Amino acid sequence: MIRRSLLPLALLASCWLFVSASNAQSGAQSGAQSSAQSGGELRFSIQSEPKSFDPMLADDDSSETVRYLTTGYLIRLNRQTQQLQPEMAASWKVSSTAQSITFELREGVLFSDGTPFSAEDVAFTMRRLMDPALHSPFADPFRSSAGDVKTEIKNPHSITLQFPAPVANLEQLFDGVAMLSAKSAHSDTAGLGPFVVSEHKAGSYILLKRNLNYWKHDAAGKPLPYLDSVRLDVQQNRDLDLLRFRRGETELINTLVADSYDRLAADMPSSVHDAGPSFDTEQIWFNQVPGAPIPDYKKAWFRSQNFRRAISQAINRADMCRIVFSGHATPAAGLLSPANHFWFNQNLHAEVADGPGALKRLAADGFHLDKDVLRDRDGHAVEFSIITNTSNKLRERLAVLMQDDLAKIGIRLNVVTLDFPSLIDRISHSFDYEACLLGLVNVDLDPSTQMNVWLSSASNHQWNPEEKTPATEWEAEIDKLMRAQASTTDNKKRKEYFDRVQEIVYEQAPFIYLVNKNALSAISTSVHNAVPVVLRPQTYWNIDSLYLTPPDPNGRHGE
Amino acid sequence: MNRIRLVAVVFLALTFSAVLLADFVAPAPYAKQFREAPNAAPSAKHLLGTDDLGRDAFSRLLYGSRVSLLLAPAAALLSTLIAACIGGLAGYLGGWFERAALAATDLSLSLPWLFLLLTVRALLPLNIAPIASVTITFALLGVLGWSSSGRVICSGARAIRQSDFVLQAQALGCPPHRLFFKQVLPNLQPVLSAQFWTSIPIFIIAEANLGVLGLGVSEPLPSWGNLLRGLENWPEVKASPWKLMPIVLLVAVVSCFQLVFQKRENLAS
Amino acid sequence: MWLRALPKHFLRLALTILLGGLLGATLVRLAPGFGVDERELDTRLSTQSIEALRQSHAPQNNIFAYYRGYLVGLFRGDLGFSTSLARPVSELFAERLPVTLRSVAVGVAAGWLLGFFLALPSIFFRWKAYEVFTAGLSGLFISLPAAILGLGLVYAGGPASLAIALVVFPRVFQYARNILLQSAHLPHVLAAHARGLHSTRVVLCHVLPNAAPLLFALAGISVSMAFGAAIPIEAICDYPGIGQLTWQAALSRDLPVLVNVTLLITIITLAANSLSDLASTAFARPRL
């Protein structure tokens, strides 16, 4: 799975020239009630042992979960409203050139070990983050050009950060920068988040206890979080996770697979939630690397726009949504999901399956059907392979459906499942592959976060990475548009540029987008204040306002 | 026992004929997707229902059995022959050869052969036919599978080497190779046959486990391996018990083999 | 006399173990996907960061140099540093080894007991029902993948280590049954029977000792079998043992962990088989 930043960064609504947040010092969370009871332990599973407890390097799902629960941020993206809101920064101001940002910090905030939070900590955090040897994924988006970040501390509660060049999407990037303590003796473990890591049995579980120094209070003045502790169990097997949820051993499942959703919905209808289309997509692409070790005639097919569009037309996306996702997905129109209300290009619509139409398009390039086998101009039978990773059963089924769809127009598709390292080796190192099917966990709203995909010189420009010069005219145009949208803060203009990028991607189909999956989750009825949303983390984004009521002693959990 | 053996033989004969004649017996091609009816329950049209992509489960079971029932015994035979040669010769010859062979056996048991399988898969072309790739997988399993019985066979051969009748035959001037093939190997037969019969389901399951890494049979070809993988989802299996058919068939075939051929051994010895 | 042979024997063992480590490391090094990192697909990272990631795996590219460095470290007690979990391998082993050793020990013991005691009656009785029942039972358990057995036990609420026993017992049963039957049909055993010797005495004094060398060899093998089964069982059932570590290390091509695991398994296999060799020579009856 190609992973994007798991912490969403962008704004959703109107165009702003200057961005300045309200001075609201409110610590109230939406929906906090005075009837909330304190206490209880929330339990849920993480898929693997966290690879790192360093907030700067927390890259995988499990590490990000621990990070989300234990650290605090200057600015936070509210997962429900998709608006930025003040956290450690009571207010902020971005300069008109997007080259500097000034924060007014909240006063009286303490780290979990009691050390006070001040502008020095922000400076320390930024220095640590921007250390070139660290290669933190949260630091690279700030590096729009070479040079260091200058920090200017005016007083203990005010700091200005000066960047060497304008940074696109500047304030939203701070949703990924966890504040570290400069003075604490345990700067690795002292955090500003609602919980603190208390016990850790490697490979088994992580127990987090309430941070007694957490700064937030609810509307009634009660200190947050309501929960006493959170227990994360390492559980790789999703079926076992489901079983434990049914038994009442866990209270949430953050991401549910479509068939688990249906099974659970049959027994525990009030526990399942479908928050609608998410930002996740599934897509295929063809290898267009000029030096790839594949036959030249195949390279010619993959470089042909008609060929790629015809394949896209032959695929039956509606069947994929119905059969593989049990209706919990929608056909994808393009690179963004319609859930991204502001940035999605409303003029784009998903292709409807049309075999004859695909054949007509292919005929324009000299392909012809010869006794149920499609052949190209030179008589080669059209046959190619598609690689995908093995650990995702739904993706394998998508590939098999595609295999059947393409067989109807005479194309033989070979589905090859590979383990992930072998797959990455082929798509990034040896380029020994023909087509690839992968998914994108696309939680970033703002297009600037996708620079490393659309710029032809970037490493994640999957179909032809690290081009010295753009290989085609349309790639050159995308380069120009992406750079243009990154260098202005006028969102209306940015949307124009990015709409055009989406159109070009739709026309040229370097990525053929298949479906947009829905955000499915399960929450036990003993958990209150939970509002499942589309942005990650879908179920516990507001964990400091969640509270538990004891389950019904007579009935099963949640029924 | 005769009646039971007869039943087992008849069952095996029926299964093998159905499987070999799958092209005629199967109600639908194994790759045909009945997209209006995924995960359907058994009916007149689909005897065992359909799988999650709407493919007829009965047809897939027949074709899958064909792949596994033909290739797994072949691989088992290969591994048994290699084990017989290496283990038998080691025990028979003794000395440095035995020590070297036993060390090779122990190493072979400990090394992560998974990576060799991954390397071989990487060397194969991506567009290889599914049947060719599964044949290569089973061949590799056969070549690598000898070590689990190598030591036992070596012990057995050593015991035979030290036994009376072999000493007698040597005294009578019997040449070593004739001794090996006519006396040692036949006496190792019980161990060799245990190795053979246990290897067949082990290789079928190994193919299933390798499928998790992408080294098994590729779609749309069915195999017992990928049919067995469907069992991992226990609540779904509980809700649709007909999905247990592949495992029931495999257990029945394996048990019948044991019943039929064990009896023959008892009579022989 | 055997005391003189001991140092040579140990030297041979040590060489075999070291060779095993090197071969294992080479297999991992040559496999596709070595030196790649999942983080390369993170779209937040700049091209320079991705390049730095790729370079970080360079020290492991020359496998001989790496292995030499590893052995030097080993003599100092440093088992290396896991690239996928960012922790010293010695820490990981210290946490996980007891878990796996315990479940493997329980599994092998239980599997052997079950397999052996199911096989024993075959030489006394010829009950058809018993034959069918044991054939079916061993057929069932040998046909189920280890992972499914483990999952089944977890669903039923039992310990996953019993799954190891269920994996070991059918093979032990098959081999033991055939070996014991063969021993039981040897001429002098039949003669003893014919002379009216009590069945138990025949089994204890004639059948078992004859079968002993092969049975001991089988015992040695079942240890390797059990370890092999532990890997998928622990991986699927989330048991925090060496098996789960090995599986994750294999999927991320974590060379430091895999070298150590290969050495560990080689040592255990060689130890188990050496012990079984010793035991079988101790039981060997002189042929007159």
Whether residue C32 and residue B122 make contact (CB cut-off 8 A), yes or no, is yes
Q: ipTM of the predicted structure?
A: 0.88
C253: which chain A residues are within 8 Å (Cβ-Cβ)? 421
C-contacting chains (≥3 CB pairs under 8 Å): A, B
Residue of A246, A391, A398, A400 best to disrupt the B interface, most CBs of B under 10 A? A400
Q: Is residue B23 part of a domain?
A: no
Mean pLDDT of chain C: 84
What is each CA distance from A431 to A81, A415, B24, C47, in whole angstroms?
42, 17, 43, 17
**Mean pLDDT across the stretch B232-249?**
82
Closest residue of chain B to A259, computed from CA coordinates? B236
Question: What pLDDT is recorded for position B263?
Answer: 52
Distance (Å) from the C-alpha of residue A372 to the closest C-alpha of chain C? 36
Distance (Å) from the C-alpha of residue B247 to the closest C-alpha of chain C? 7
Q: Which residue has the tokens 């953050």?
A: A254
- B124 touching chain C per CB within 8 A: no
From the centroid of its chain, how far is CA C88? 24
Whether residue C41 and residue A3 make contact (CB cut-off 8 A), yes or no, is yes
CATH classification of the domain holding B105? 1.10.3720
Domain count for chain B: 1
**Going edge to edge, which strands form the sheet with A150-155?**
A89-94, A100-105, A158-162, A150-155
Residue of B2, B12, B109, B247 best to disrupt the C interface, most CBs of C under 10 A? B109
Closest residue of chain B to A316, computed from CA coordinates? B35
User: Which residues in chain B (48-87) have CB-CB distances under 8 A to chain A?
Assistant: 52-54
What is each CA distance from A79 to A30, A202, A510, in whole angstroms?
11, 30, 31
Contacting residues for C99 by C-beta, under 8 A, at least 6 apart: C239, C240, C241, C242
| Residues on chain A bordering chain B, Cβ-to-Cβ distance under 8 angstroms | 239, 242-243, 259, 263, 319, 323-324, 383-385, 387, 390, 396-397, 399-401, 403-404, 414-419, 422, 432-434
Give the right CATH number for A277-518 from 1.20.1090.10, 3.10.105.10, 3.40.50.720, 3.40.630.30: 3.10.105.10
Q: Considering only CA atoms, which of C182, C35, A188, C123 is closest in space to residue B156?
A: C182
Partner-chain residue, chosen from B35, B218, B233, that has the shortest CB–CB distance to A323: B35
| Pair of tokens at residue A527 | 């958990």
Partner-chain residue, chosen from A387, A390, A434, that has the shortest CB–CB distance to B213: A390
Residue of A47, A51, A244 best to disrupt the C interface, most CBs of C under 10 A? A51
B-contacting chains (≥3 CB pairs under 8 Å): A, C
Q: Is residue B77 part of a domain?
A: no
Question: 3-state DSSP call for residue A488?
Answer: coil
- Other CB atoms within a 10 A radius of the CB of residue A381 amount to 12
Whether residue C221 and residue B201 make contact (CB cut-off 8 A), yes or no, is no
Distance (Å) from the C-alpha of residue A45 to the closest C-alpha of chain C? 11
Q: Structural domain boundaries of chain A?
A: 277-518
**Mean pLDDT across the stretch B103-128?**
88
Q: Is residue B60 part of a domain?
A: no
Q: Is residue B186 part of a domain?
A: yes
- B214 touching chain C per CB within 8 A: no
Q: Is residue B46 part of a domain?
A: no
- B158 touching chain C per CB within 8 A: yes
pLDDT (tens digit per residue) in C63-118: 888 898 899 998 888 888 888 888 899 999 998 999 899 989 999 999 999 988 88
Is the model's pTM score more than 0.90? no
Residue B34: band (very low, low, confident or very high) from pLDDT cuts 50, 70, 90: very high
Question: What pLDDT is recorded for position B128?
Answer: 86
Containing H/E element for A161?
strand A158-162
Distance (Å) from the C-alpha of residue A257 to the closest C-alpha of chain B? 13
B128: which chain A residues are within 8 Å (Cβ-Cβ)? 414
Question: 3-state DSSP call for residue A41?
Answer: strand
Whether residue C32 and residue A425 make contact (CB cut-off 8 A), yes or no, is yes
| Pair of tokens at residue C214 | 């092969």
User: Which residues in chain B (179-208) have CB-CB distances under 8 A to chain C?
Assistant: 190-191, 193-195, 197-198, 201-202, 204-205, 208
Distance (Å) from the C-alpha of residue B233 to the closest C-alpha of chain A? 7
Alpha helices in C31-127 (DSSP H): 47-56, 63-75, 89-119, 121-124
Q: Is residue B43 part of a domain?
A: no
Q: Is residue B158 part of a domain?
A: yes
Q: Is residue B22 part of a domain?
A: no
Q: Considering only CA atoms, which of A32, A27, A61 is closest in space to residue A46?
A: A61
Output the tens digit of pLDDT for each of chain A's 559 residues: 334 433 333 333 333 333 333 333 333 344 445 567 888 999 999 988 888 888 888 888 899 999 999 999 999 999 888 889 999 999 999 988 888 999 999 999 999 988 999 999 999 999 999 888 888 888 888 887 778 889 999 898 999 999 988 888 888 889 989 999 988 877 678 889 999 999 998 778 999 999 999 999 988 888 989 999 999 999 888 888 998 999 999 999 999 988 889 889 988 999 999 999 999 889 999 999 999 999 999 999 999 999 999 999 999 999 999 999 999 999 999 899 998 888 999 999 999 999 999 999 999 999 999 999 999 999 999 999 999 998 888 999 999 999 999 999 999 999 999 888 999 999 999 999 999 999 887 667 888 888 889 999 999 999 999 999 999 999 999 999 999 998 888 889 999 999 999 999 999 999 999 999 999 999 999 999 999 999 889 999 999 999 998 765 554 444 3
Closest residue of chain B to C178, computed from CA coordinates? B190
In SS3 terms, A56-105 reads as CCCCCHHHHHHHHHHCCECEEECCCCCCEEECCEEEEEECCCCCEEEEEE
In SS3 terms, chain B reads as CHHHHHHHHHHHHHHHHHHHCHHHHCCCCCCCECCCCCCCCCCCCCCCCECCCCEEHHHHHHHHHHHHHHHHHHHHHHHHHHHHHHHHHHHHHCHHHHHHHHHHHHHHHHCCCHHHHHHHHHHCCCCCCHHHHHHHHHHHHHHHCCHHHHHHHHHHHHHHHCCHHHHHHHHCCCCHHHHHHHHHHHHCHHHHHHHHHHHHHHHHHHHHHHHCCCCCCCCCCCCHHHHHHHHHCHHHHHHCHHHHHHHHHHHHHHHHHHHHHHHHHHHHC
Question: What pLDDT is recorded for position A554?
Answer: 52
Could you tell me the residue range of the domain that residue B154 belongs to? Answer: 2-6+82-268
Q: Contact A156/A173 with Cβ under 8 angstroms?
A: no
Calpha distance A312→A411 (Å, rounded)? 13
